[in-house]
Structure 1
């Protein structure tokens, strides 16, 4: 049995092109300067309540999203964003660390190279497809290895200088100076644009058979929770939204906490994190304490940090189960296994929007329940399925399996898979339907 094929839109929601889903339209906002003030975040929360369903999100790539808009409320929301003084990023997606230029650990400041690429694509950016993206990773405390990209540029040390490792599609990396890296990136993007808006870097010669731009190791990168030193003796404090989402009043409360702690600004970051920057040591502690009181993640070992969950049903029309509603229970049930070696993905359908890369355990919505994929992507789900209301008990049984001495959570799951115990657990709960090994 295979899952019912979900509708593939070929794009993501954007500021100028919101996307329809089960709970209305989603508008995605990436501040052009990556930072917004506490006042601006409060204003955005008010607008999300006035024009949407008050639900807001931070995505895995560090974008803000407002949910529940209607065709009539999109323009008022966009006007509200501009009235707040927030300049949205439009056109080509170029991702850099939210701490670029502030991070003493970075090999190079990614902003000048990103600016060269943006200026260089001004004449043909409209010919690129909406999913074409560039990553410029300065090699600092917050890496972007989990981001898929058509063009990936990573700063590396070369003697006393910094150079850029440039990878196009799945090709071999080249070590280049900054201007050379910009030229190489612009040449690739121009060739992609010439192929049409459906083209990606993997359509270029020599890139067709390998993943997009060496998109990391397939796992979830470290979530940037906690305190990070900045230049001039200041700090950033990263806190996580529970599974990337919260009501507008939570965002407003975090803005208040940032103000009280003395933050300069707030920056959405990779892995659904919100960073308050410009804090002193005492302010960083105060902001983290208030975020923790509000139910947010503040430590990298929080079990919720290892779980990605899409909104699920009914918010998404493609979803077969309420993934985000179940996520907290899954975190509790699997806590004994979530030791930093295990990643978990609750995917309402086979698309895998919340975590496109393979996870250690992926639970995929299918027509009749939830399927399990071990060390794979949601698209690999076949069966059997268990009933949605049987998930928590099934996972509790799984987590109760004794570890061997020194065995990690991931090692335990690999051993169970090899012995057929994972398949057997789902098979028993799935009424003896045969399972296709993943």
Structure 2
């Protein structure tokens, strides 16, 4: 067990230098640095690649029940959050996470931000292990912000579409390394990809810019490519296809409403899993090699098990009462709209304030609260909660 420690990360994480014009530190929460929300303290547990052993999930569910509000939330980076924690719960939570193998390095708690194709092949799994181990062993990497993101793509472009700082993509016998939002990438060897990602992250810190994300210091990737001796070539088109809910390629993809699941729902997922679960950036959970016969039982727990639902691609911020900045209970309003809507279409995101926390990348329908019962859609169409279902469905088809 860990020695008693305060939940503050000051003793194990370096201070983040504010970027010019921001005037504030990177306050991204972690498992050691808790965030005080209106519904209690919040802890964000990094889960590289979203990969959880069944016993690790069981430990998280127990922590959520005994220390928090009893639920676990999946984030847009495939991590998990506990909410409703007491202000002094940090030490007990840290001890539990350490015992479950979810805190391999106290000093790197918030920098283990790695998304990976949930149905990726052995290359992706190898990169995930190698990168996480190398990241935790790097003293330099401690200086990364909690917002810095690595993406390991199995070749479909699913996580390559997530606006990561560094992305590697399987392309047959080789890989592509993409830097920030560059429309170009460097061809690298499969065996070299994880090592080069860490080197690129360390070179980014060596720039001394104080930026949190590479795109702020090197938006086209040419500066870091030059420092790494890499040649950039145009990035090929990628489908961006992500796994849909239901049986897919020998796995089951299960949807969580807005990524939030009760203890009973998460335990049902753990029971249905074989050895591990993979939490995706799209608020779904992949159960590799699971028996499709478990789908009715999961559906009975209120989980999404079939494709084609209006809930597909629908996300929402925390909203009221959990967030003091939110003007409405957006999740309740969104759920009411989705339950009466038909069809799918573009991703749609409900936000309780102008910050639009957790919104997707790419094209999406923007539903913003302007009052307790009023919203705007794509900053133009004003609707009440009663009008929202039809208006959102139409926007998803036409925007």
Task: Report the alpha carbon displacement of residue 117 of structure 1 after superposing the two structures with TM.
Answer: 7.4
Distance 1:312 1:355 in 2: 13
Contact 2:112–2:132, Cα closer than 8 Å, also in 1: no
| Structure 1 contact 224–271 (Cα < 8 Å) conserved | no
Match of 1:165 in 2: 176
Match of 1:27 among 43, 48, 62: 43
What is the match of residue 189 of structure 1?
A: 201
Structure 1's 332 and 33: CA in aligned 2 closer, same or farther, altered over 3 A?
closer
* Distance (whole Å) between structure 1 residues aligned to residue 271 and residue 125 of structure 2: 30
- Paired residues of 1:320 and 1:366 also in contact (CA < 8 A): yes
Consecutive unaligned residues in structure 2, runs of 5 or more: 1-22, 223-233
Question: Alpha carbon RMSD of aligned pairs, Å?
Answer: 3.6
Q: 2:96 aligns with which of 63, 80, 88?
A: 80
Q: Which runs of 5+ in 1 are unaligned?
A: 1-6, 103-107, 230-234, 375-380, 402-408, 415-438
Task: Report deviation, 1:46.
Answer: 2.1
**Which of the numbers 90, 96, 106 marks the counterpart of 2:116?**
96
1:268 matched to 2:279? The reply is yes
Q: TM-score, normalised by structure 2?
A: 0.77
Aligned equivalents of 2:99, 2:267: Cα separation in 1: 18
CA shift, 1:322, in A, is: 0.8
Q: Which of 239, 243, 247 is the matching residue for 1:227? A: 247
Query: Of the candidates 275, 288, 295, which is equivalent to residue 288 of structure 1?
Result: 295
Shift of 1:216: 12
SS at match of 2:296: helix
Assess, with a 3 A threshold, how the Cα gap between structure 1 residues 215 and 304 changes in structure 2: closer, same or farther: farther
- Provide the rounded CA distance (Å) in 2 between the counterparts of 1:317 and 1:366: 14
Indicate if the aligned counterparts of 2:50 and 2:279 stay in contact, CA closer than 8 A: yes
Separation in 1, partners of 2:83, 2:392? 35
Stretch of structure 1 that moved more, 352-361 or 289-298:
352-361
Mean Cα deviation higher: 324-333 or 124-133: 324-333
Structure with greater Cα Rg? 1
CA distance in 2: counterparts of 1:17 and 1:205, whole angstroms:
29
Deviations 1:12-62 (A, max 9, x none): 322222222221122122345743343442332222111111121112221
1:9 and 1:352 map into 2 onto residues whose CA distance is: 20
Q: TM-score, normalised by structure 1?
A: 0.71
Whether 1:334 aligns to 2:328 is no
2:158 corresponds to: 143
Q: Which SS does the other structure have where 1:173 is aligned?
A: strand
Q: Say whether 1:243 aligns with 2:258.
A: yes
Contact residue 147 and residue 216 of structure 1 kept, 8 A: no
Asked if the contact 2:127/2:194 (under 8 Å) is kept, the reply is no
Aligned counterparts of 1:12 and 1:56: Cα–Cα separation in 2:
18
Q: CA deviation at 1:272?
A: 0.9
Partner SS for 2:328 = coil
CA distance in 1 between counterparts of 2:302 and 2:265 reads 9
More off after superposition, 13-22 vs 110-119: 110-119
* Correspondence for 1:311: 318
1:263-412 pair list within 5 angstroms = 263-279=274-290, 284-335=291-342, 338-339=343-344, 341-357=345-361, 359-366=363-370, 370-374=374-378, 381=379, 385-386=382-383, 390-396=384-390, 410-411=396-397
Asked if structure 2 preserves the Cα contact closer than 8 Å seen for 1:110 and 1:138, the reply is no
In the alignment, the residues of structure 2 paired with residue 395 and residue 129 of structure 1 have an alpha-carbon distance, to the nearest angstrom, of: 38
- The Cα of 1:113 is off from its aligned counterpart by 6.9
- Give yes or no for contact 2:47–2:112 (8 Å, CA) kept in 1: no
Report what 1:201 is aligned to.
Answer: 214
Partners in 1 of 2:118 and 2:141 — Cα distance? 23
Separation of aligned partners in 2, 1:317 and 1:294? 30
Aligned residues: 360
Measure how far apart 1:398 and its partner are.
6.8
Cα distance in 2 for partners of 1:70, 1:316 equals: 16
Deviation (angstroms), 1:244: 0.8
